[in-house]
Chain A
């Protein structure tokens, strides 16, 4: 039924486009209601619910074209116009997926240097229309979930895990879950009450809270055996600050159990292995710039004065993608090279390996 609906709607759009070319019918419908377009997905901020002093849950009602089929643990892109300029960032969805849902939510911590997060937590008005990017990411639970799970969570890394726990709770399929959750203080711990309530209802869910200002950091070598003696038999999902994830990655590597560890990074750790650098040529704008192998294509384009699109600047949201007519780039996250002519390149996480030409 829904597939048939969508097909016929596409047909209507195609026919309508004869009347609106070079625009789409959506461009006119969005004049009536900004949510009536699937060209660039939109949403409306319904409310902002404070969670702790510096975090808030932002409830979003998406417009046309949105599918409530995200898997718990995935993130979405949101674009918000502040001072005339769109700022894009990616945030994990904290609500469980609901096929007939009307809203979804992200939970945001205001970072001192985080322009958009500050705005979301402290300033955004309900009713604000934002842009959305469909959910993605592979930090997800398999279906059915494994029998024994360990969640390693630090700070706002709780959001994707919260989405997973809420889903398990709602479906009544809570397996044996141990959660280690670190926060600097009790007050700053997001979803603390809800987690306590969940743990109260499910015998199979154990939450270990750790307040690092008083208790110090969790040291896996010292504490994990005590916290979760059977950690070797568990699938692990870890999300939090970079150093914590680096430590986890090293720890499970050494145990030879790296297959069991699933990581979600909120910020990109460039591996330091750059490209060789080269001259970037931007075809449409007729500009070019020579950059070294540690500078991203996006930064190079900005240096050259090209109006480069960008979003998260961390390789997540893909809004920075530009067609590379020819040349070769290296992905700074994993060192992989990419040289497909007329392929789409994520400019924010790639550096040139020799000269490259872009269609912008």
Chain B
């Protein structure tokens, strides 16, 4: 069930919500104030490590291809190294730099306005669909395209259609081709389907995706394999394996962020006149963490601290661990849920939802914690499509219907 009024749902008074907001603001200011050269060293170290690993992987793949005895082990080791390098690049470096987490360093080379990442989606489009739409409208049904990526039915409120029966299959395809799914994200397939997309914008975006995607594909499937001479295909397989590994990994991490059972959805009533502290509350209730080793957190771009990331998307990722301790204390103090668990359980719950929701609601039971009595989505009545009017793609908001 989706939440229409986060304040009522959490049983907090207006003053308590304000107070919580002030405490989170203070936490943010404290972290901002304490950023220092150790943080800068962290991201530079990550960048050096990632580039070094990528170079070593490419050399291993290139050189080993020329000897019969090293070809297969070289492809396996090189492919694995390349996969890890791509994971680091996308998660801990690209995602976080483009969130502006390192803008405070004032380094033009590690700045959200200049960074381009090593995947098919152009940075500019990602910064709109992810940084803006997803992080602003987190888990608000109809606004946040990250709920199912326009492909999967991920909330019981979303209308079932026979096409959803194939959901387990679409899910597998999305996971395997994740970077290409992400590449199409900002296009907003649903808006295109409804004929609401500005054709000029669509043309520009498609051109950007084509240019970026082509460069990425040519690199991995033409240029590097060509360097392996007669063993062109060995390198193609290894590179494809690295790309798929990265795709599967980032898909799993990202699905653990908002789809485990504890993460709530919201209706558009919630974001009407939403205050900053209410926005914080929505981020906390809508996100889910997972637990694990330090290595796991680095490889997941510290998105195991999804709650903290959603509260403070532009604070440096290496600080999320320490922030999480404080956020948990606040959750205890205000009796708020803090969703976390081991990675396999969090993903397992997301997967269960994907499979369940391929069927109509009447065949399945809801796993998400029931929203409190009477204050569910219909507290003030859902608006009809006519009332909502057409969605403005640039904000994700609905324009007021003509009166």
Contact = CB atoms under 8 A, between A and B. Distances in A.
Interface of A: 18-19, 21-23, 27-28, 31, 39-40, 79, 81-88, 131, 284-286, 307, 309-310, 319, 322, 359-360
A22 B106 contact: no
B39 A84 contact: yes
B156 interface: no
Nearest to A27: B51
Nearest to A358: B113
Nearest to B112: A307
B23 interface: no
B218 interface: yes
A241 B358 CA distance: 74
Given A83-B37, A84-B38, A284-B131, A310 B106 contact: yes
B223 to A, nearest CB: 5
Contact of A28 (B55, B107, B215, B219): B55
B51 A18 contact: no
Contacts of B127: 284
23 contacts: A18-B223, A19-B219, A21-B219, A23-B118, A28-B55, A79-B106, A81-B37, A84-B35, A86-B105, A87-B106, A131-B108, A284-B112, A285-B100, A285-B112, A285-B132, A286-B132, A286-B136, A307-B100, A307-B314, A309-B103, A309-B111, A319-B108, A359-B113
Interface in B95-140: 100, 103-109, 111-113, 116-118, 124, 127-128, 131-132, 136
A28 B59 CA distance: 13
Contacts of A88: 106
Contacts of B361: none
B360 interface: no
A19 B38 contact: no
Interface of B: 35-41, 48, 51-52, 55, 58, 100, 103-109, 111-113, 116-118, 124, 127-128, 131-132, 136, 212, 215-216, 218-219, 223-224, 314
Contacts of B104: 84-85, 307
B223 A86 contact: no
Contacts of A81: 37, 40, 105, 107
Given A284-B112, A284-B131, A307-B112, 7 more contacts: A22-B118, A31-B51, A81-B40, A87-B106, A309-B103, A309-B106, A309-B108
Closest 10 A-B residue pairs measured CB to CB?
A307-B103, A84-B40, A22-B116, A84-B37, A86-B106, A286-B132, A307-B100, A21-B215, A18-B223, A284-B127
A22 B223 contact: no
A22 B40 contact: no
A286 B109 contact: no
A83 B55 CA distance: 30
Contacts of B212: 22
B111 A286 contact: no
A360 B128 CA distance: 11
B182 to A, nearest CB: 15
Contacts of A79: 106
B131 A285 contact: yes
A39 B111 CA distance: 14
A322 B39 CA distance: 26
B218 A18 contact: yes
A305 to B, nearest CB: 8
Contacts of A40: 108-109
Nearest to B101: A307
A82 B35 CA distance: 12
A85 B37 CA distance: 7
